[in-house]
Amino acid sequence: MRALINGIGWVTAAGLGRGRQRLGFSRPAGPLPKLSRRMLFAEPDQRFGRLDEYSRLGLAAITMTLRDAGMAEDGQKRPVGVIAATTHGCLTTDLAYLDTMIPHNGAMASPNLFAYTLPNCFLGEAAIRFGFTGPGFIIQEPDPAGYTCLSLAMAVLGDGDAQTMLAGVCDLSQTIPATVEPQPPAAAVFFALGLVPGPAGPPYGVLQFDSTGSLSFMGQRVTGIFDLVQACLHPAGHGSPVRRATVDLNLSTPESG
């Protein structure tokens, strides 16, 4: 399976970013930026103010990815899908909701928090805002840097169920007393995948899974989704991301052999 990477966007403790800004990517420990509507959208939006922290994180990373791919301004319906992987999902929101439900036998349970006690809520927010009509779902990924979401997104593209697939990870940091190992930093990262170059111009390069399930980018093995971000932004031996992805761009035809 092969696909082009047409956009990259992220939110980490270092801030919001996207690939074509050329600001560099890092995933340090620490609190995430307090995401506000003004950081992402010019127009007032009461619905954004109701989003929980997890949904804001996912929606912000998707927005940055679409901007990087040149696809953020078109609000018309379009065959774009989203697959997001998560280790803990909306656990933070679930626990906050329980804190309002348990006292008083549920009489004071928060309806606003309850609305976001499913980890796929931000996919619906993105679909409404950006006009997505393709498949959208969440997968539980034990490895916070796992790339199962990418292989599933490429399969959707191959089946013709979407023209663009956004695939990535979204996780808040968690404090779990029973967990011995330290939890990874909070972050959300998404890639815009397609079979043809996107409107932003030449893609970052070609993503490929071989028959063993190994992931490579422009022929170089990558070990996880955050490693893939660095490979796109700092391609070893291939020049800049924009200049190097000028060959092998027509992936919409079946591979030979």
Domain containing 11 — which CATH number?
3.40.47.10
d(CA 166, CA 7): 9
**Does the pTM of the predicted model rise above 0.85?**
yes
Has residue 117 been placed in a domain?
yes
Has residue 192 been placed in a domain?
yes
Count how many domains the chain has: 1
**Helix or strand holding residue 9 (H, E):** strand 2-12
The owner of tokens 């990262």 is 189
Contact predicate 144/184, CB 8 Å? yes
Structure tokens at 179: 């967990």
Q: Which residues have a Cβ under 8 Å from the Cβ of 52 and sit 6 or more positions away? A: 90, 92, 93, 96, 113, 116, 121
Has residue 254 been placed in a domain?
no
CB atoms within 10 A of CB 200: 20
Has residue 172 been placed in a domain?
yes
Strand partners, 84: 138, 168
Q: What is the pLDDT along the chain (257 residues), one digit of tens a residue?
A: 899 999 999 999 999 999 999 888 999 999 999 999 999 998 887 788 889 999 999 999 999 999 999 999 867 899 999 999 999 898 888 888 889 988 888 778 888 888 888 899 999 999 999 999 999 999 999 888 889 999 999 999 999 999 999 999 999 986 655 555 667 899 999 999 999 999 998 999 999 988 888 899 998 898 899 999 999 998 764 444 444 444 455 555 444 33
Has residue 252 been placed in a domain?
no
Has residue 136 been placed in a domain?
yes
Has residue 250 been placed in a domain?
no
Residue 118 structural domain: 2-244
d(CA 206, CA 103): 53
- 3-state class of 191 per DSSP? strand
Say which DSSP state 32 is in: P
